[in-house]
Amino acid sequence: MRRFLPTTTSTTSAFLMSLLLAGSSMTHAAENSQISAADRARAVKAAKQGTRQDANKPAAKKAPAKFDFEGEFVNYASWSEVRAFLDDMAAKHGFDRAELDVLIGKVRYVDTTVQLMKPAPPGKPKNWQAYSARFIEPVRINAGVKFWNENAEALARAERDYGVPANIIVGIIGVETVYGRNTGRFRVLDALTTLAFSYPESPNRTARMAFFKGELENALLFARKDGIDPLTLLGSYAGAIGLPQFMPSSIMKYAVDFDGDSHIDLRNSTADAIGSVAHFLVEHGWKRDDPATSVYPVTVSPNRVWEKFLGQGLEAKFPLAELQQAGVSSVAAPPQNMLYGLIDLQNGSEATEYSLASNNFFAITQYNRSYFYAMSVIDLGKAVSEARAR
């Protein structure tokens, strides 16, 4: 059966595509994305406004909406896949089937989420320096200093309890949402339902739809567990929630009550966000006893024997001596008794930068499967720490 897929104007499509080409980040929830959550939030808002006003006239002032995209009505309740999903929620988790019918009748299709999930056209070269400049900049650094000062106790406690340094936690929350300034204003149920049942055509469409069905399931479970009206949950275009942009499944698995109020709130509690980020990293391999430095810049020999160490997965698994024998020379002196991975930070037409990365670097990539992301987290945390010490 043909599915309802509302079309966007050519203006909106072209504008969003240009933004995809200009961006170079992604949230840990959306592997196809190539632009950060904060930048996307601004981008889609600008795109929406651009299609609703005459280019020669100023935009009319109006009261801010509770959320950015109300979406379009689709009779999801008539879709066999949706009915099967709701039947499963009732059978597995004891949801009232009639209440689910009422809820799904209020959910809307949001085409912007579909457009933003589409991969950027091939051929756009990666550029680490351009990517980094989007995050290591004064506004984000100054906001990071303020966030650290206001949450020093919680950050110190997270470092003590989990072994994750404050600068890493600060770096993640800063990259994700600029310390809560850009947490997303999409209704999470709209975004997740749209992506679970109307994901754009792509080679991995089936797998991604299954992923978002799982996230929709967890969003409903989380809302019920916390006594939240699920339609009030706001987040990113991909359904990520709160200061640390956790997907619903991550909230259910890794979020912690770090402020001791017997309630987990990643949207309003900075302490819960801090503790949850630390807990997530530990559960994904962070080791408190590893050296503070997790990345070591290197030079590589012209013989290119070292190329076999590139693209070997998001883990540290090679002895330092083996890498050195292949022509990798470190600027600093990495510990000999650790394993490393060789990472490449491409700079478009400029020279690629190479580094050795230890275990804790790759733990950060489990938050977002990107070398660029992990390096930005480390660099932003360091910049905030240095600015705070001045």
Tens-digit pLDDT profile for residues 313-360: 999 999 999 999 999 999 888 999 999 999 999 999 999 999 999 999
Sign of CA dihedral 44, 47, 51, 53: positive
Question: CA-to-CA distance for 149 and 171, rounded, in angstroms?
Answer: 14
Across the chain, the runs of DSSP E, i.e. the strands, are 72-73, 108-109, 186-187, 234-235, 295-300, 318-319, 328-330, 339-347, 350-357
* DSSP annotation string for 114-131: HHHHSPPPTT---BHHHH
Question: Is 176 known to be catalytic?
Answer: yes
Bridge partners of residue 127, in order along the sequence: 347
Q: Where are the alpha helices (DSSP H) in 269-316?
A: 270-283
Question: CA-to-CA distance for 202 and 200, rounded, in angstroms?
Answer: 6
176, 315, 322, 353: which is the annotated catalytic residue?
176
The pLDDT assigned to 228 comes to 93
| Helix (H/G/I), strand (E/B), else coil: 340 | strand
Cβ neighbourhood burial of 308 (10 Å; 0-12, 13-18, 19+): exposed
- Kindly state the percentage of the chain with pLDDT values over 70: 82
Question: CA-to-CA distance for 24 and 128, rounded, in angstroms?
Answer: 8
Tokens read off for 276: 């949850």
pLDDT per position in the chain (390 positions), as tens? 333 333 333 334 433 433 333 333 334 444 333 344 444 444 444 444 433 443 343 443 434 445 556 689 999 999 999 999 999 999 999 999 999 999 999 999 999 999 999 987 777 789 999 999 999 999 999 999 999 999 999 999 999 999 999 999 999 999 999 999 999 999 999 999 999 999 999 999 999 999 999 999 999 999 999 999 999 999 999 999 999 999 999 999 999 999 999 999 999 999 999 999 999 999 999 999 999 899 999 999 999 999 999 999 999 999 999 999 999 999 888 999 999 999 999 999 999 999 999 999 999 999 999 999 999 999 999 999 999 999
For the question of whether the overall pTM of this predicted structure is more than 0.75, the answer is yes
Contact 296, 360 (CB under 8 A): no
Contact 173, 147 (CB under 8 A): yes
Cβ neighbourhood burial of 147 (10 Å; 0-12, 13-18, 19+): buried
Tens-digit pLDDT profile for residues 12-52: 443 343 333 333 333 444 433 334 444 444 444 444 443 34
Tokens read off for 250: 């991550």
Question: CA-to-CA distance for 240 and 225, rounded, in angstroms?
Answer: 18
Question: CA-to-CA distance for 232 and 211, rounded, in angstroms?
Answer: 22
